[in-house]
Amino acid sequence: MIIIKNIRQLIGIAPSETLRKVGSEMNDVQSINDAFLTIDDGIIKDFGESSRCPLPSGKDEIIDARGGMVMPAFCDSHTHICYAGPREREFIDKINGLSYEEIAARGGGILNSADLLHQTSEDDLYSQTMERVNEMIAKGTEAIEIKSGYGLDTQDELKMLRVIRRVKETTPAVIKSTFLGAHAVGRKYSGRQDEYVDLVCREMIPAVASECLADYIDVFCDEGFFTTEQTSRILQAGAEYGLVPKIHANELACSGGVQVGVAHDALSVDHLERTTEAEIEVLKGKKTMPTMLPGASFFLGMPYGRAKDYIEAGLGIALASDYNPGSSPSGDMRFVMALGCVKMRLTPEQAFNACTINAAYAMGVSQSMGSITKGKRASLVVTKPLPSLAFIPYSYQTPYIERIII
Ligand code: NIG
Ligand code: FE
């Protein structure tokens, strides 16, 4: 057993039946001051006030938190970290005034990453992806969803998903994989978008399913990418193989993507930089988690999602990094939390819940991650002594992690 003692604040406690937080619950972060926590076989066994801290036996390992906080590790429910190299040249194009859509329309963007991925070996892709996973773990993230979508033909999509599977098997972090064949139309299918959708439905999905390579299915349902009709077809084809949707919607326009996602029982609908009342209305009472990616808004200079309006309407929201080479080259969930507070006016408690329990829900792991709960994985961050939870997004660059428990 591991005993963590001298915890000044144990933060993010939730009962096991809480799988997500909605509306006013998002302001609630339960904590115990002056606490201990015990871990048995990687699982949280017990916690409480220090007066109840068990006396160690010879076999127990003691971790002295020395007055720091202990909190659940971040979950990052939306990333594209399986990519074959950065795209900093497009960053310069953007500085010089080109938009994300203009770069994509010139054959850059996602297609650039697909060309590079095609030339990259599986081993190299694996090392690059693992490097990013390790970078994220060091910043306090211990569950990561990773999408395909830079293959854009059957062989290369499978190559990506096999690499993600290898990552899943070799990292101590929890990994979920998502098939995103419909991220863009592959170069060979340029101008033949419907044929590409046929390929996704008839060839890619069955191939992915036959090797059990994906937990989820995603489509970039947005202006200039895939229509709502095409998205419906793809999600339908995925459903035949039990693939649950998590989709990209409303990044570039009010695309109707949220409505399609909800109609197909999506676990999450992600981006949502553009929202009208219709999107908020359709999400009410549904199991779909609206997920916002403020790192992409920051990097592309887009509007930030209307997180407050969602919460006021009684919905929960999750925040994720969208870590990818084009629109969000960072997997730092603390920065995401800070953007949530500064740019979306979330309280630190709302941002914290959005990056932990709700993010865990949005990737289907909230039974075992995202809060301090007996029986959940001991995926924890021990901090240096901090004045309060608000300090984390406030002083967003000050090193605060003392130790990662994974
Ligand atoms: O979530 N919006 C679509 N896909 C990614 C960007 C991928 C890329 O540019 O490489 C996103 O922002
Ligand atoms: Fe994305």
* pLDDT at residue 107 in the model: 74
Q: Is 157 exposed, middle or buried (CB count within 10 Å of its CB: 0-12, 13-18, 19+)?
A: buried
Ligand 1, atom 12: closest residue by C-alpha:
327
52-82 burial, b at 16+ Cβ within 10 Å, e below that, comes to ebeeeeeeeeebebeebbbbbbbbbbbbbbb
pLDDT in tens, 51-66: 999 999 999 999 999 9
Q: Enumerate the β-bridge partners of residue 388.
A: none
Please state the atom number of ligand 1 nearest to the C-alpha of residue 271: 1
Give the ligand 1 atom nearest the CA of 300: 12
Residue nearest to atom 1 of ligand 1 (CA): 322
Residue located nearest, by CA, to atom 9 of ligand 1: 326
Please report the sign of the dihedral spanned by the C-alpha atoms of residue 90, residue 92, residue 94, residue 96.
Answer: negative
Segments in the chain below pLDDT 70: none
The answer to whether the Cα torsion of 34, 38, 43, 46 is positive or negative is negative
Output the CA 387–ligand 2 centroid distance in Å: 34
Q: What are the DSSP calls for 321-347, one per residue?
A: ---BTTTB----HHHHHHHHHHHH---
Q: Which ligand minimizes its atom distance to the CA of 249?
A: 1
Shortest-distance Cα residue to atom 3 of ligand 1: 220
Q: What pLDDT is recorded for position 255?
A: 80
Out of 77, 94, 183, mutate this one to test ligand 1's pocket (max ligand atoms within 8 Å of CB): namely 183
pTM higher than the cut 0.85? yes
Alpha helix stretches (DSSP H) within 142-210: 154-170, 193-199, 205-210
Question: 356: which residues sit within 8 A by CB, 6+ positions away?
Answer: 12, 71, 72, 73, 74, 75, 370, 371
Helices (H), 96-153: 100-105, 110-119, 122-138
Whole-number pLDDT of residue 128: 98
Helix axes 110-119, 154-170, angle to 10 degrees: 80
What is the CB < 6 Å shell around ligand 1? 80, 109-110, 113, 220, 248, 251, 296, 322, 324-327
- For ligand 2, the distance from its centroid to the CA atom of residue 5, given in whole angstroms, is 39
How remote is the CA of residue 20 from the centroid of ligand 1, in Å?
26
In the chain, the N- to C-terminal Cα span, in Å, equals 14
CA-based nearest residue to 132, from 154, 163, 156, 102: 163
The span from the CA of 73 to the CA of 9, in Å, is 15
Q: Which residues pair with 69 in a beta bridge?
A: 9
CB 119 within 8 A of CB 109: no
Question: Which of 168, 144, 133, 77 shows the shortest CA–CA distance to 361?
Answer: 77
Tokens of 44: 């949280």
CA of 110 to the centre of ligand 1 (A): 7
Beta bridge partners of 292: 271, 319
Distance between CA 333 and CA 335 in Å, rounded?
5
Residue located nearest, by CA, to atom 7 of ligand 1: 326
Among 304, 320, 311, 330, residue whose Cα is nearest residue 363: 320
Cα gap 282→266, rounded to integer Å: 12
Contacts of 115 (CB under 8 A, 6+ apart): 187
| Backbone φ and ψ of 319, nearest 5° | -115, 145
**Neighbouring residues of 86: CB distance < 8 A, sequence distance ≥ 6:** 325, 329
| Residue 211 burial by Cβ neighbours in a 10 Å radius (0-12, 13-18, 19+) | exposed
Instruction: Work out the angle between the directed axes of helices 122-138 and 154-170 (0-180°, nearest 10).
Output: 50
The closest-lying atom of ligand 1 relative to the alpha carbon of residue 150 is 10
CA 386–ligand 1 middle distance (angstroms): 35
328 CA to middle of ligand 1, Å? 8
